[in-house]
Amino acid sequence: MTAVLALTLGDPAGIGPEIALRAWIARREAGLTPFLILGDPDFLAATARRLGLDVPVVVGEPEEAAAGFDRALLVRPLARGLPLRAQAGRPDPANAPAILASIEEAVALVRAGRCAALVTCPIAKHVLYDAGFAHPGHTEFLAALAAAPGEAPPRPVMLLWSQTLAVVPVTIHVPLRAVPDLLTADLVIETARIVDRDMRVRFGIAAPRLVLAGLNPHAGEAGSIGTEDRDVLAPAVESLRREGIDIRGPLSADTLFHARARATYDVALAPTHDQALIPIKTLAFDDGVNVTLGLPFLRTSPDHGTAFDIAAQGVAKPDSLVAALRLAGRLSAR
């Protein structure tokens, strides 16, 4: 497999182009694995000039990236052309075909073994929805691209990872009032199985230690503050333990993320989105990485959005993208 990462540009009206350029500038200091971008080379070169960044942009293929990475940023034009006319800070559905083609072609390179892993810059789902995008989000689109013809897409799981903390939300972008109905034992078991497997296979942790946060305050206090922890989460944990998965819980979420608690586990699973994302964004806001588990290929991305409000103003920090590239390089080397 080629030791090159495929990087998508995300929404070109956001900070994706700037942080991609700045990540290349940081390549030596950060020790990054060579990467190439799927997109419009003229647009990236113009963005570099506008921001005053000294980034030579050249056109090429993955097989050329490793040798030339130190001298220039390699860009592979999209197969259908699709030049970009994006204005910074102004999301436009007209860019949707190029955004999606960048993702599709990057996945194809990874699945063909021409790139070692996929790294994606942020997209704005509402921009794609306005152009007729049929998937709930970025991750579901990747799962669909990962499916063989006639097969159901694999079940993706969102892992937010940093050196300080790794968390998985069991339910993601749903209203809080919907969580108790969605939070079934089967969902918890399936999620934990995927996390345990990918911690072993992707991260090389021989015996992953998982914990499950409770849904209710104090994990329900034996059913006196809601029954979901007692009747749904606890039986799921017992079932997983019988399978040989090292998992504890449900545990009170309010005492699960301090330093001493974090030392006792490798990944924390949380019933709701904010239970997982608030602690990691508090502890590792600039260098958290979104890793998609459950796919047949490795995918990482920055743990932030498009930030249209600061696009092309020269203030976007590439730290999370650099962390995503560094982690993708390290894990793909396995």
Domain segments of the chain as ranges: 5-155+296-332, 164-281
- Would 5-155+296-332 and 164-281 be classified into the same CATH topology? yes
Backbone angles phi, psi at 142, to 5 degrees: -65, -40
pLDDT at 300 over 70: yes
Is 258 annotated to bind a ligand? Reply is: no
Mean predicted confidence (pLDDT) in 168-188 = 95
Q: Is 138 annotated as a binding residue?
A: yes
Amino acid in position 149: P
Q: What is the pLDDT of residues 74-123, one digit of tens each?
A: 999 998 766 677 888 899 999 999 999 999 999 999 999 999 999 999 99
pLDDT of residue 1: 45
On whether 299 is known to bind a ligand per the annotation, the reply is: yes
Whole-model pTM? 0.93
317 is in an annotated binding site: no
Q: Say whether 290 counts as a known binding-site residue.
A: yes
Q: Is 209 annotated as a binding residue?
A: no
pLDDT digits (tens, 9 = 90+) for 229-240: 999 999 999 999
Q: Does domain 5-155+296-332 have CATH number 3.40.718.10?
A: yes
Binding site annotation covers 125?
A: no
Kindly report, residue by residue over 37-49, the tens digit of the pLDDT. 999 999 999 999 9
pLDDT at 66 (0 to 100): 85
Q: Tell me the pLDDT tens digit for each residue of 128-155.
A: 998 888 888 899 999 999 998 888 999 9
Residue with tokens 């072609």: 105
> Does 300 show up as a binding residue in the annotation?
no
Compute the chain's Rg from CA coordinates.
20
Separation between Cα atoms, residue 296 and residue 240, nearest integer Å:
23
Provide the percentage of residues in the chain whose pLDDT is more than 70: 99
| Beta-sheet strands, E only, within the chain | 5-8, 35-38, 57-59, 73-76, 117-120, 157-161, 166-169, 210-213, 247-251, 267-270, 289-293, 299-302
**Which CATH code, of 3.90.950.10, 1.10.1530.10, 3.40.718.10, 3.20.20.70, is assigned to 164-281?**
3.40.718.10
